[in-house]
Structure 1
Amino acid sequence: MPSRDPHFGREGIQSMPQLRDCSLHALSVAIAFALSSVTGFPAQAQTASIPDKYRLGPLPDGIATVEHGASTLSIPGTVDLSRAWRLALEHDHTYLAAISEQAATQTQRQQGRSVLLPQVQAGYWRSKVTGTIEQPYMGRRLSSDVSYDSTNAYIQLQQPLLNYERYATYRRGAARAQQGSAVFAVKQQETGIRLATAYFNLLLAYDDWRLQRALTESLASQAQALEARYRQSEGTSTDVQETQARLAVARADVIAADDRLRVAARELQALVGAPVSTVAGLSRDFPLLPLIPASLQQWLERAANNADVRSAQEAVRVADAEVDRAASRYFPTMDLVASYGKADSENLSTLSQRSNTFIVGIQVNIPIFTGGYNTANVSRAHLDRRRLQQELDATRERVQATITRQYTNVQGGAERINALAAAVESSQLSLDSAEKSFLYGAVSNLDVLKTQDKLYQAKYQLVKARLEYLLAHMELASAVGELESVQFDRISNVYLGPAISLDGERG
């Protein structure tokens, strides 16, 4: 029986130097012959690599990276959106998983090509045969003991000559590799939006905490002033109690805002790989840049570049190759087969005989009946292709709607920012007027408190509108497949500036 022990196999070959040398020579001849027959498909392995457009560029001078596993140390210096993006490309586990996934899918191309290349296999077995032979002789049966070693070694090459199924498999492998690159582009765009969302959520949480704290300090000063007026019989206890009640609520809001800020900082940390102690906040100047191109129709025409659309298109191409592969099982196949074998005492009829055989031939297989499998398989492939085409159409419609929504968010966001900026200015003037009127008894203390709340809400909504405006810009770029490092750099240079300490100011 053939031995499955690799050490045993090597010892057996070494014990037969002539067989070993002959087998190795035959193997080299067979491989050379096989490769020469398919010069159009190089046999060397190709390492899967990330497309150049997805490769990471070097970090700008002065920007430090964070080593994996060093999550307990804060990132030195100020982290703006541009730097956070580059850190996320190096440390975000979801993005790193996408890189590995994309590299794995690139092997599909090589796997598909391999079925067109020669298939070479070799075998060797050695067995010990013992027993008794009985044979008639002059009316009697003579028996004799048998004990001998039987060995057999062979090497075989099979090269497809006419095999449409294997060619369809090759096309499917190439299509899957292209689909892998398209899926990676989707993951890259998603990483950019996740990073921008986390960064802007952190800025919004910080401004919320800052405004809540400023409101609390203002209410605390106001409560002290009202208590002093009450002690001098110039105010009422109602005013004091109203202010103290509002102060208690404000202090609770500060605690809640602080919790949201900590959560937002942790979410950003998960993307950049380490705690962030200082970030770049929004600048005082907030220019509203025009959209380029300005027409919605021009943006809709660029929807074909959307990563989801391209991924769905590649999925349809894979389905096309799968349809061809399923249909190819109806066709005959033709293979070139070459083998070389060497046997010693292979059986009783060849006892004590050695044989060397070399066979070259053409093998033709003609499918006749498979129990209905091929028919069902072709139907399945066509239905899958139809499903993927419908999903592609749905993706196109969804992307068109997304582009329209983000375009209107940018255009409407600019108008909303102007309106909220005017609301902040008006609320500040209203508060100043209410505070003066309260001193003369023209308005109540409750009116002043309500005006303060309106000012806080206006400031908070203004910050939120600005961040939503920036995020809409980035989501619009992502919707047309153009969210790249340049967008992160531009926002950092134009809209971000003052450093915000997330540790020192909160204490």
Structure 2
Amino acid sequence: MNKRALTGALVMLATVAYAGAAAAVDLLGVVERSTDHDADLAAFRAGSRAAGQAVPKARAALLPQVVGGWGRAYNSVVTEGLPNTHYWQSGWTVVLTQPVFDWSKWTTYRQADFVAARGAVDFARARQAVILRAVEAYFDELAAEDEMTRANDYAATLDLHLSELVRKRRVGEATVIDVRDAEAAREQAQLQQQDARDEVHLKRLALEHLTGEPFEALSRVSEAAGLPGLSPPDVESWASQAAAHDYTVQQKQVDHHIAELEVEKARAARLPVVSLTASHTPAGAASGYMRPTTTTTAMLSVTIPIFEGGANTATIDEKLALQDKAQDELVAATRTAGASAREYWSRFHAGVARVDVLSRVVQSSQAALDATKVGYRVGSRASTDVLRASEAYFANRRDLIRARYATVMALLQLKAAAASLDVDEIARVNELLLNGAVGGGIVADAEAGRKPASAEVKQGVAPADARHSAPITNMQPALAEADTRRPKFDADVLRALSAIRP
């Protein structure tokens, strides 16, 4: 091969290698593509925009309403004993209506703040759910690929062992039973390889479904990567944060306040309604006049409900029952959020301990496999000992791989339970896993300058035995302090909550 051809080949290989590296997608890339592609999330985003219009709509009902119109009419007047009169009448009119006192409309205006906040919370909760699904799909495929690598390595080890047994069988140093055992183990390894290939294919399809596009490969986790840290370390801090900030809890808090205002609206139906109406009709448009006549009228009207057949009483009782339902759902969501945080905290710490133990077990089983192979060569170990040691080593290696991913997933689920899983958090985990960053770790949003967790629970959510939740406006200081490191999309939630009028 001449120098020019060699140079071209090297350039081509470098180009292929660069293209393969560029095609690899990391955890952050998968999450960003999933959030951009998810149609349900787009629907929640549109729903949040629609919910944001509740405030201007409700405010418009309290402002003056001006209606203008133009018309042309033909009049025919027949009066006995008088000449018949026929004439055309045309012109325009303006009518102004201003509510003076309507407690139902005013309550709807106050309620609109919570409707807008509900839309923002729904969108933030949906986005966090998409992030979790993307992370889970990413780790599922990595685990499937690692399992395929393990199955291939296991099969290669058995191939070498079987080849050595066949060679020894020819010279009479191995038995037929040894060969048959190795062949059976090799067939089992081939089945594991097939299962692993199928699993990789299925996980890849699931990931492509989430991201909406195919890709060549995923970025591998660095061998130097450590597990993220956890701060604060105690479980009750996380449980308190989840009970106060979990998105489902925030939804139920908003729903409860909406239900309270529904009761107030139902009671407002018993109150009088005062309205001011004014109209102006220029000359030529006054109805009933033969000659052009200009009319201007203004009227203050009071409507007082007297008897409605018991419908209003039934409506009030219905809204009170729905308010109790919303309160019970809030208590249930608070308990569930705290329990979920405790569960994921326990899973994370158990996972850390399991990874530590399995790391030592893998090292020990690898040393045992190497020693067994040496013993087999010198005749102190049998072929079945080599097979058992090989199976133990690769099984421990598989368990270690799964435990690492499960531990990271438990941590992210814990962050989600506290409503603090965002793209920035994913970026930190991504950097830690790919580059093996030391220190840093993953910390709680409440680490710096936070109020005690018990104070947040008192401010953010009612205790389990309370019949009425605390006003959601009292939750804002805790949220503002806890969310100094939150992503931009959660700013919509904070903005909506801070806009709620007392």
TM-score range, shorter chain: 0.7 to 0.9
Shift of residue 286, structure 1, vs aligned partner: 3.6
Q: Distance in 1 between matches of 2:267 and 2:329?
A: 23
Q: Distance in 1 between matches of 2:20 and 2:97?
A: 60
Residue 81 of structure 1: aligned partner: 27
- Kept in 2, the 8 Å contact 1:223–1:240? The answer is yes
Shift of residue 129, structure 1, vs aligned partner: 6.4
Q: Distance in 2 between matches of 1:236 and 1:119?
A: 100
Q: Distance in 1 between matches of 2:86 and 2:184?
A: 105
Asked if residue 427 in structure 1 is aligned to residue 365 in structure 2, the reply is yes
Asked if residue 244 in structure 1 is aligned to residue 186 in structure 2, the reply is no
Residue 216 of structure 1: aligned partner: 155
Asked if residue 416 in structure 1 is aligned to residue 362 in structure 2, the reply is no
Residue 118 of structure 2: aligned partner: 179
Shift of residue 147, structure 1, vs aligned partner: 6.4
Q: Distance in 2 between matches of 1:444 and 1:128?
A: 115
Aligned partner letter, 1:215: Y
Bigger radius of gyration, 1 or 2? 1
Shift of residue 328, structure 1, vs aligned partner: 0.6
Asked if residue 168 in structure 1 is aligned to residue 111 in structure 2, the reply is no
Match of 2:400 among 459, 462, 483: 462
Residue 447 of structure 2: aligned partner: none
3-state SS of 2:218 partner: strand
Q: 1:136 to 1:408 in 2, by over 3 A?
A: closer
Asked if residue 328 in structure 1 is aligned to residue 284 in structure 2, the reply is no
Shift of residue 391, structure 1, vs aligned partner: 0.6
Aligned partner letter, 1:316: H
Shift of residue 243, structure 1, vs aligned partner: 2.3
- Kept in 2, the 8 Å contact 1:269–1:275? The answer is yes
- Kept in 2, the 8 Å contact 1:74–1:275? The answer is no
Q: 1:99 to 1:76 in 2, by over 3 A?
A: farther
Q: Distance in 2 between matches of 1:143 and 1:454?
A: 117
Alignment of structure 1 residues 74-223 onto 2, 5 Å: 76-127=22-73, 133=78, 136-137=80-81, 149-151=88-90, 153-223=92-162
Shift of residue 273, structure 1, vs aligned partner: 3.5
Q: Distance in 2 between matches of 1:247 and 1:307?
A: 51
Aligned partner letter, 1:415: A
Q: 1:374 to 1:76 in 2, by over 3 A?
A: farther
Shift of residue 108, structure 1, vs aligned partner: 1.3
- Kept in 1, the 8 Å contact 2:93–2:285? The answer is no
Residue 341 of structure 1: aligned partner: 281
Aligned partner letter, 1:106: G
3-state SS of 2:25 partner: coil
Quick check: 471-480 or 378-387, which moved more?
471-480
Shift of residue 244, structure 1, vs aligned partner: 2.4
Residue 37 of structure 1: aligned partner: none
Q: Distance in 1 between matches of 2:278 and 2:204?
A: 66
Quick check: 221-230 or 397-406, which moved more?
221-230
Shift of residue 123, structure 1, vs aligned partner: 3.7
Residue 285 of structure 1: aligned partner: 224
CA offset digits 1:174-222 (Å, max 9, x no partner): 1111121122221222122112111111111110111111112222232
Shift of residue 150, structure 1, vs aligned partner: 5.0
Quick check: 445-454 or 462-471, which moved more?
445-454
Unaligned runs of 5+ in 2: 1-18, 437-502
Q: Distance in 2 between matches of 1:341 and 1:232?
A: 119
CA offset digits 1:124-156 (Å, max 9, x no partner): 4445568x95x655xxxx997x86545464322
- Kept in 1, the 8 Å contact 2:23–2:217? The answer is yes
Aligned partner letter, 1:164: W
Q: Distance in 2 between matches of 1:258 and 1:313?
A: 47
Q: 1:262 to 1:128 in 2, by over 3 A?
A: farther
Residue 363 of structure 1: aligned partner: 301
- Kept in 2, the 8 Å contact 1:431–1:452? The answer is yes
Please, what is the CA RMSD of the aligned residues? 2.7
Residue 333 of structure 2: aligned partner: 395
Q: Distance in 2 between matches of 1:77 and 1:473?
A: 28
Match of 1:311 among 243, 251, 262: 251
Shift of residue 294, structure 1, vs aligned partner: 1.5
Q: Distance in 1 between matches of 2:377 and 2:302?
A: 105
Aligned partner letter, 2:217: T
Residue 8 of structure 1: aligned partner: none
Q: Distance in 2 between matches of 1:90 and 1:395?
A: 29
Aligned partner letter, 1:340: H
Q: Distance in 2 between matches of 1:420 and 1:357?
A: 92
Asked if residue 233 in structure 1 is aligned to residue 172 in structure 2, the reply is yes
CA offset digits 1:425-468 (Å, max 9, x no partner): 12212222333344455554344323322222211110111111
Q: Distance in 2 between matches of 1:363 and 1:74?
A: 77
Q: Size of the alignment, in residue pairs? A: 417
Shift of residue 115, structure 1, vs aligned partner: 1.2
Aligned partner letter, 1:302: Q
Shift of residue 344, structure 1, vs aligned partner: 5.2
Q: Distance in 2 between matches of 1:315 and 1:75?
A: 48
Match of 1:385 among 323, 334, 339: 323
- Kept in 1, the 8 Å contact 2:284–2:294? The answer is no
Q: 1:341 to 1:246 in 2, by over 3 A?
A: farther
Asked if residue 405 in structure 1 is aligned to residue 343 in structure 2, the reply is yes
CA offset digits 1:235-264 (Å, max 9, x no partner): 233332332233223223222212221222
Shift of residue 106, structure 1, vs aligned partner: 0.7
Q: 1:345 to 1:313 in 2, by over 3 A?
A: closer
Q: Percent identity?
A: 25
Asked if residue 258 in structure 1 is aligned to residue 214 in structure 2, the reply is no
Unaligned runs of 5+ in 1: 1-72, 499-507
Q: 1:236 to 1:413 in 2, by over 3 A?
A: same
